[in-house]
């Protein structure tokens, strides 16, 4: 594993989190390939190999639709996230880079209340493109078996 791949993935994950935390959600799908998988699930479902997810999208178009729905149709209490991203554990491959990265997300409500919202890991398949790294597959594995119903914004 070369250090440059490690640094590149760290920068990528930092930019990913900054996009979400900065409420630039319309740009979030640009971190993914056109044909991708984004799934949020619990550790229990992940370890049991259950395919269903709390959030499931299998294309960049579905990710964009999700953001449009958040902005235009869904009604939820206004809030923001702040991500803390761990160091990636990388298995460098020829075509696909397999990677696991721990995360911690706090939720900041409009009134100022701050709470621990989610912890877990990203289980990724990343690909190199002419424009840099993109996510082919990101399974967000939340440590808790109970997920807050206010999961609206992507993790």
Q: What is the pLDDT of residues 37-74, one digit of tens each?
A: 999 999 999 999 998 888 999 999 999 999 998 888 76
> Is 138 within 8 Å of 122 (Cβ atoms)?
yes
User: What pLDDT is attached to residue 94?
Assistant: 75
Any idea what the CATH number is for the domain that residue 38 is in?
Answer: 3.10.450.50
**The pair of three-digit structure tokens given for residue 62, joined into one six-digit string:** 């579905």
In a 3-state reduction of DSSP, which class is residue 25?
A: helix
78 vs 42, which has greater pLDDT? 42
Total count of domains within the chain: 1
| Residue 85 included in any domain | yes
What share of residues in the chain are helix, strand, coil (percent, to 5)? 30, 40, 30
Residue 67: domain span: 5-142
User: What pLDDT is attached to residue 74?
Assistant: 65
Residue 2, pLDDT above cutoff 60: no
Q: Under the phi-then-psi rule, with left for phi > 0, alpha for psi from -120 to 50, and beta for the rest, what region is 48?
A: alpha
What's the pTM value of the predicted model, to 2 decimals?
0.91
2-7 long-range contacts, CB within 8 A, separation 24+: 2/92, 5/90, 5/92, 5/97, 6/88, 6/90
Strand partners, 106: 82, 116
Measured CA to CA in angstroms, residue 63 lies from 35, 71, 153 at distances of 11, 13, 11
> Is 108 within 8 Å of 81 (Cβ atoms)?
yes
């Amino acid at each position: 594993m070369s250090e440059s791949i490690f640094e590149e993935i760290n920068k990528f994950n930092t930019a990913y989190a900054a996009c979400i935390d900065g409420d630039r959600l319309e740009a979030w799908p640009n971190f993914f390939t056109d044909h991708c998988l984004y799934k949020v699930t619990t550790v229990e479902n992940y370890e049991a190999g259950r395919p269903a997810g709390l959030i499931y999208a299998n294309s960049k178009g579905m990710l964009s639709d999700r953001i449009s729905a958040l902005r235009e149709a869904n009604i939820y209490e206004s809030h923001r996230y702040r991500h803390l991203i761990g160091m990636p554990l990388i298995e460098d491959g020829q075509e696909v880079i397999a990677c696991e990265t721990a995360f911690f997300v706090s939720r900041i409500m409009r009134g100022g209340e701050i709470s621990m919202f989610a912890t877990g890991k990203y289980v990724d398949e990343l690909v190199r493109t002419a424009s840099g790294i993109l996510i082919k597959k990101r399974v967000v594995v939340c440590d808790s078996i109970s997920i807050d119903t206010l999961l609206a914004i992507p993790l």
